[in-house]
Every structure is written in structure tokens, then in C-alpha cells.
Amino acid sequence: MTLSAEQRRERLVALYKEVSTCTRCPLHETRNKAVFGAGNADAELMFVGEAPGAEEDRQGLPFVGRAGQLLNLLLGEIGLSREEVFIANVLKSRPPGNRDPLPLEIEACEPYLFEQVRLIEPKVVCTLGNFATKLLTGSPTGITKVRGTPQVHELGGRTVFLLPLLHPAAALRTPAMKETLRGDLAAIPELLARPLPAPAPSAEELAEAEAAGGSTPPQPADQLDMFG
């Protein structure tokens, strides 16, 4: 079902309210504020981080600490501002002491993220760090192997470009990683300008094409070769 921009915005507000009072996992007992995500509800570009830190938990906003300041700086360097993008996290509640998200927490929270992608309808989704990358690529391959190379995925019922990036917190710790993140982010403007590839053919479409003796429609992985 196609939703108007107004309907998508209304549903996003309803989802925000749901997340604000969510008790799906034990993190609601220790959080100060749930962090839904923030930015442009019609953004073409979405960032997905890991989980709120101390400052995010205090303010109820994503990436407002040091990692967020670095992200703002690097975004500015490619001519983008926070107001133009939407930023969310895999987890909406802070894990105590900033420990890694647990599988049951990710499982409880991931429907919110997929619904956010469905409602915002971004063209490019940048995953920041291992947790977001593994969740949204559906692959256990770590961020250092896949960073900087765009992929094509079906997310929230739509085809998007997915660009795995190092987490800005890691980039704050190591100057070389900061330069890598800066270099990888430079691919974004060109990616935003590209037409999205056609959605992957369904199993039915593939079977029909084969039965008709025709050539198999290109898969997203093949199409990726065109700009890999």
C-alpha cells in the first residue's frame, strides 16, 4: 500500500509515541529516555547507529555526544546537514555502561527500525559499525571487510542502497579510522544521485523467466558490479 507523505509522517509520530513507552526488553528499566531517532521524515539518506550512549539517553536524541559531533563535521564536509538526514539506532534504549547490545534486545527492537525505514523511504541507508551492518545486511561479515562498498538490499519492503561505514566512535579513537570514515562518506553524494536499481525479482518471476527460456533478470549483486 502506498502512503502519502502526510500518512507516513502521522505513522512515524505514532511509532515515536510507542517507542517512548516501550517495555519490550529489560532496557526500559534502566534507560532515562528512549531514543527514537531524529531528522527529516522524508530523508533520502538515513544513518543507523548502534545504541544510545549516556548523553543520548539524557536528551532522548541520537548522536548528540562526541561521536555525533564528528558525524556532523563529516556530514558538513560532503555538503549535508543533520536536518536533511534521518538518524536512528538499532536499539532505542541505552544498554547500561554502553555494553554491546544483546541478541534479545536487538530482536525486540528491530521491528521499530524496519518500520522507520518503511515510513521514511530513504534511498541510501548508511549503517554505522558492526551491529547495524550485520542486522541490515543480514550477514555476519564484519564492518572492516564490507565498509565503503555499497550494497543493494530490500529493507522495509523497498530496495535501497546500503553503505556500511565505520562507527564514528571508533573513528574518534583512531586517526586512521577517521580518515577511512571520511573517505567512505565521500561516496554518498554520488550514491544519492544514482537511480535505484530495480527490486530483486521474486522467485515466481525468476521461475517464469526460466520457463519462458529467456535470460534471467539481473540480480542486485550483478547490478552492483556496475558501480562496485
Residues near ligand URA (CB under 6 A) are: 49-53, 56, 62-63, 65, 67, 89, 169
CB 154 within 8 A of CB 75: no
Considering beta carbons, is residue 68 or 197 the nearer one to ligand URA? 68
Q: 12 or 91, CB closer to ligand URA?
A: 91
Tell me the pairing of strands 124-128 and 158-165. parallel
CA–CA gap between residue 225 and residue 55 (Å, rounded): 41
Nearest distance from residue 191's CB to ligand URA, in Å? 21
Cα–Cα dist 222/176, whole Å: 32
CA distance 190 to 192: 5
The distance of closest approach from Cβ of residue 218 to ligand URA in the complex, given in angstroms and rounded to an integer, is 34
Q: Which is nearer to ligand URA, 70 or 200 (CB)?
A: 70
Task: Using the minimum distance from each CB to ligand URA, give the nearer residue, 25 or 51.
Answer: 51
Rg from Cα positions in the chain = 18
Q: How far is the CB of 52 from ligand URA (least distance, A)?
A: 5
Contact 111, 122 (CB under 8 A): no
In whole angstroms, the minimum distance from the beta carbon of 208 to ligand URA comes to 43
Q: Which is nearer to ligand URA, 112 or 197 (CB)?
A: 112
- Least CB distance to ligand URA at residue 71 (A): 9
Residue nearest to ligand URA (CB): 49
* Beta carbon nearer to ligand URA, 166 or 200: 166
Cβ closest to ligand URA, residue 62 vs residue 197? 62
The residues, any chain, with a CB within 8 Å of residue 18's CB and separated by 6 or more, are 112
The burial of 28, by beta-carbon neighbours within 10 Å (0-12 exposed, 13-18 middle, 19 or more buried), is given as middle
- Rounded to 10 degrees, the C-alpha dihedral 199/204/207/211 comes to -110
Whether the CB-CB separation of 50 and 93 falls below 8 Å is answered with no
Encode 121-157: b = buried (16+ Cβ within 10 Å), e = exposed.
bbbbbbbbbbbbbbbbbeeeeebeebbbebbbbebbe
Nearest distance from C-beta of residue 77 to ligand URA, angstroms: 19
Least separation in angstroms between CB 169 and ligand URA: 6
